[in-house]
Structure 1
Amino acid sequence: MGEPASEADILLDRPEVGICVITLNRPSRLNALLRDTVGRLNAMLDDLAADPECRAVIITGAGRGFCSGQDLEASNARNQTGSSGVVEKLHWQQQFAGMGGRIRAMPKLVIAAVNGPAVGAGMAMALSCDVRIATSSARFLVAAVRIGLTGGESGISYLLPRMIGASRAFDILLTGRSIEAEEAESMGLVRSISAPESLLDDAIAYARSVLANSPYSVAHTKKLMWANLDANSYEAAVEAENRVQILGTMTQDYGEATAAFMGKRPPHFTGR
């Protein structure tokens, strides 16, 4: 069954103030996800979402892969022994899908630093992030359609067509083919391609550029963007924008930003 689950399957680092890095750490299995790993990752995401000292989260993988999805050896072992019933399987399916839901909902910038294959739930995790930066060895793959399941996994059938268009998403999900890094960049799925040795530094630099804005601005711009992907009308989207803009004018950081602009100096944001 490969490596057993352990606390070291997920690493958390804080390279500088406000920025947290989550590293999936089962490199010999391309960071495949065991059930216990998913449980710990969800708990970590919950903790970081509530942590006022964390303003940006970068998710990456150790070694050659970002995340190869569910550990199929462990899954096959359960199937052979019949140790998982329907209720248990549904619970863990919801836990796997819950990773993306947490990433989207947390009021922090979340960046996927995709250093290699992002497969199945790993691809869903990357798509759930606000921004993706990749290396040339990155590729995105939903192979479930090839093993008797569907291409709809952990929100992929919702996210992918919104990011690259329905026609491209149909092609990718029905064939089960991979999206290589160059194609991912050309279709806007990833922001940019970095050299492997500079991927994490580039992700940190990008996070730093976003965190130069006020915490309110970043958190509520993210919330608006995700919400308005589902707005049922232009008017509904503008109504949501209007409310958030007016609330923003009541923050101390807005007063600081306008004073800094007039004084031709950098603003000093406090998150108030």
Structure 2
Amino acid sequence: MTTDAPLLIERRGDVEWVTLNRPGRLNALDDRLTAELRDYFERLYRRRDCRIVVLRGAGQAFCAGLDLASDQARRFAEGGLAEAMDVQRDIRDIMLAMRRCPQPILALMHGAAAGGGFVLALAADIRIATPDTRMSAAFIKVGLGGCDVGASYLLPRLIGASPAASILFTGRDLSADRALTLGLLSDVVAPEALESTAEAYLAAMRATAPEALRMTKQCFNHSLDAPSFEAALAMEDRNQLLLGNEPAFREGRAAFLEKRAPRFDQP
């Protein structure tokens, strides 16, 4: 893969490390990067060779959002309604695909995570950041609504309505320390510890049964929108009955009784 590719994918066993690679533009989204991100996450839905995804940015930032100097931004601002809607959907479909894919996604954040870049992180499942990370829903600072590409759905569910409103209504920066306090981040670590911290999460998830991990993400996201406690319980019941008939549970039970580590089959 050439180094000027906007999206770099490194395979490490059953984990894929996905790097936004427009460092000269703080990994801001243009047509190529948008298309490659959307296509990558949409293809993940039926893939079983990849169990977990790590998403990160090259250079000095995670992602600065839409590149306002790009042709993509020009079409949104100057094109007709249909053309602008195409641009809008191209970007928000990335977040939709990230939520739909069964692979857990870890976002490793540093520097700017603004606008659409902020929502990329929100659409991930686990977020780890360096102390210099600055997050913002910057849309409202350029004359657009603060609610864009999934921010109004994801952010209140992650940190609550009032803190989310203070971010979306003002476009103010959210520091890593404040995000950790709000529960948006799982860890804040030094830049040199970012990858090793992610590896600890990966090791724990890779030690689980493959189908159990996929179905845990499915059930978790379903329960965030469940209309009632009973509806969430029904999904949990369904998943446990399905997984209880799988060889992985028989191996896990045997390993527990024999006081050894389970040996789950890998895809």
TM-score by length of 2: 0.94
Tell me what 2:6 maps to.
9
Aligned pair 1:179/2:174, yes or no? Answer: yes
Instruction: Tell me the secondary structure at the aligned position of residue 175 of structure 1.
Output: coil
Which of 121, 130, 143 matches 2:125? 130
Which of 49, 54, 71 does residue 50 from structure 2 map onto? 54
Q: Secondary structure at the match of 1:132?
A: strand
1:77: Cα distance to partner?
7.0
- Which residue matches 1:66? 62
Q: Please give the alpha-carbon distance, in whole angstroms, between the structure 1 residues aligned to 2:77 and 2:162.
A: 40
Report the Cα offset of residue 195 of structure 1.
Answer: 1.2
* Partner secondary structure for residue 255 of structure 1: helix
Q: Could you give the per-residue CA deviations for residues 170-216 of structure 1, whole angstroms, max 9, x where no partner exists?
A: 11111111111110111110000121122123212211211211112
Contact 1:115–1:199, Cα closer than 8 Å, also in 2:
no
1:91 has 2:86 as partner: yes
| Alignment: residue pair count | 265
Cα distance in structure 2, aligned partners of 1:167 and 1:262: 47
Identity fraction in percent: 38
Displacement of 1:114 in angstroms is 0.6
Query: Would you say the 8 A contact 1:253–1:271 is kept in 2?
Result: no
Match of 2:261, SS state, is coil
Q: Which residues of structure 1 form unaligned runs of 5+?
A: 1-5
Q: Which amino acid aligns with 1:233?
A: S
The answer (yes or no) to whether the contact 2:75–2:87 under 8 Å persists in 1 is no
Deviates more, 1:127-136 or 1:215-224: 215-224
User: Matches of 1:252 and 1:76 in 2, distance apart?
Assistant: 49
Mapped pair 1:211 → 2:206: yes
Deviation for aligned residue 1:147: 1.7
Is the Cα contact below 8 Å between 1:142 and 1:176 reproduced in 2? Answer: yes
Equivalent pair of 2:102/2:217 in contact (CA under 8 Å): yes
The 8 Å contact of residues 127 and 186 in structure 2, kept in 1 or not, is answered as: yes
Q: How well do the aligned residues superpose, as a CA RMSD in angstroms?
A: 1.9
Q: What secondary structure, in the 3-state scheme, does the structure 2 residue paired with 1:58 have?
A: strand
Q: Do 2:6 and 2:33's aligned partners in 1 also have CA atoms closer than 8 Å?
A: yes
Rate the CA distance shift 1:233–1:80 in 2: closer, same or farther, 3 A. Answer: closer
**Residues 77 and 84 of structure 2 are in contact (CA less than 8 Å); yes or no, is this contact kept in structure 1?**
no
Match of 1:18 among 9, 14, 17: 14
Q: Aligned runs of 1:91-170 on 2, under 5 Å?
A: 91-170=86-165
